[in-house]
Structure 1
C-alpha cells in the first residue's frame, strides 16, 4: 500500500538540503539565515561606501582649495607617489623594516608577557609585590623612554625596545586576569586528581585562557606597531615612521600620506592574520 502525503514523516523530509538523518531546517531558521546574509552584505557595502565617500570628499576638498592640498595631499596624487616609491624599491624596504620590527616586538612582548603573568599566577606574593609597579609602568607615557632606549640600544634596536615597552605591560595584566578568571573548581579537581602546579598551569589554566590570550594578541599587534612607529619617528634610518617624518620635514605630503596609507594596509593585514588565528583556535578550544 502506498504511503500518502498525510503521513507525518512525509512533511519532515521536505527540504533537500537537510543531511541524511537530520531534520530539515525550519522556515523561520531559513528566513533568519537570509536576513543575516542580507545584513552582512549591507555591512560590506556600507563599509565600501563610507570609504569611497571619504576619498571623494578628500579629493574634492583638496581640488577646490577648500583645504590646502600642499598640507593634506589628495587621493589622486597618492597613487603616482605609491608607484614611484614601489619602482625605486624604497617602499618595500621601509615597509619590511616596519613589519619586521613590529613582528619581533609583538612576539617578544607576548612570550615575555605571558611568562611573567604565569609567574605572577604561580606566586601570589610576587603579584602583590609587583602589581602597583606594573600599573604605574603601564600608565607611563612610553615616548619618554625613546631617548633612553636610543642611548642604551642604539638607533636600530631602540625601535624594538619601544615596541616591547608599549605592549608588554598590558599583555602581563590581561593574561594574568585571564589566568585568575579560570574556574577554581576545575583547578581543585585537577589538584584532587594529583596534578602538580605545573600540570595545572599547562593543562587547565593556559587552555582555559585561550580567549583572553587571543584578545591580548589583537591588542598587542596594534600596540607593537605603535611602538615601532614612535621609535622610527625618533631614531630610525628606515621604516614607514622614518618615511613619514622625513617626508613631513621636506613638505612632501604625498610621501607622508602614501606611507600612512601603506601603514593602514599593513595594520589591517596583521589584524586579519590574528583574526584568522582566532577562528582557528576557536574551532579547537571552542
Structure 2
C-alpha cells in the first residue's frame, strides 16, 4: 500500500522533473543554435564581401590562428598565464573580501567608520591605479594580480556585508534569547543564510577578475591573452585579436560554469543538512 502511494506521489514528481529537464534541454539547444547562427552569418558576410574580413576577421581565420598558436607551442602557455592570474585574483578577492565583510559585520563601529571609504573606493576606477601598482609591485605578474584583486575586492565587501546586515532579525533575536554569543549567531544563522549571497559575489567576481587581469596585461605583460590582444592590435593582426577574445569568452564561460556547479553542490549539501 505504502509502495503504491510512493509510486503515485513520485509519478507527479517525475512529471515535474521531466518538464524541467525538457525546458533545460530546449534552453541549451536554443543557446547553441543562436551561437551557430551568429558564427555562420559572420562567416557568410565576410566570405562574400559584405564585411571586411581584415577588420572583422571571420570564424575560419580565427580557427586557423588558434591552430597556428598551438603548432607554435604558444597557445596553452598564454592561456595558462592568464588563467593562473585570473584564478589567483579571483580567489584572493573573494576570500579577503568575505573576511573583511565578516570583520565589519562583527564591529558596527568599524562598519560605520569604513562605510564612506568603501563607497568612495567602489566608485573610484581601480584601473586608473594600474600605473601606481606597477611602480609599487614591479612590472610583472604580481601587479596584474593586484589589479584584479583591487577590481573585485570592494564589490565583494559591499555585497557580502549587505547580505550579513540583511539577515532575518527575528532569527538573530531568537538565538540571543537562548544565550547565543556573537560567534554562535554568525556560524548558526548569519553565514549559512548568506551562502547564496557569497555565491552571487563569486559570480560577479568571475567577470571582474577577468577584466582586472586583461587590463593588467594591457599595461604590463610579456605573455597572456591580454598580451596577444595588444600585440595583435599593434601589428594589425586582427585574426590574433579576435582569436584571443574568443578564447577569453570560452575560459570565462567555463569559470562561470564551475561556480554554478559549486553553487549546486552547496545547495544540495545544505538541503541534506
Normalising by structure 2, we get a TM-score of 0.92
The equivalent position to 1:41 in structure 2, one of 25, 28, 32, is 25
After superposition, residues 223-234 of structure 1 pair within 5 angstroms as 223-234=208-219
My pick for the range that moved more, 186-195 or 134-143, is 186-195
| Residue 139 of structure 1: aligned partner | 123
Counterpart in the other structure of 2:268:
283
Max radius of gyration: which structure?
Answer: 1
Partners of 2:69 and 2:4 in 1: CA distance:
57
Moved more, 192-201 or 267-276: 192-201
CA drift at 1:164? 0.6
What pairs with 1:173-252 in structure 2 (closer than 5 Å)? 173-252=158-237
* 1:124 equivalent in alignment to 2:108: yes
CA contact (8 A) 1:247 1:256 kept: yes
Does the CA contact (< 8 Å) of 1:58 and 1:75 recur in 2?
yes
| Corresponding position of 2:150 | 165
Counting matched residue pairs gives 270
Q: Which has the higher helix share?
A: 2
Report the CA distance between 1:83 and its aligned residue. Answer: 1.1
- Aligned-residue CA RMSD in angstroms? 1.9
CA distance in 2, matches of 1:89, 1:203: 51
Within 1, Cα distance between the matches of 2:189 and 2:261? 24
Cα distance, 1:141–1:191 mapped onto 2, change above 3 Å:
same
In the other structure, the counterpart of 1:74 is 58
Matches of 1:56 and 1:272 in 2, distance apart?
Answer: 25
User: Partner of 2:243 in structure 1?
Assistant: 258
SS of the residue aligned with 1:66?
A: coil
Shift of 1:128: 1.4
Q: Residue 155 of structure 1 aligns to a residue in which SS?
A: coil
Give per-residue Cα distances to partners, 1:82-139, cap 9 Å, x unaligned: 1111122211111111111111111111111111111111111211111121111111
Structure 2: tracts of 5 or more residues without a match: none
1:255 and 1:276 map into 2 onto residues whose CA distance is 32
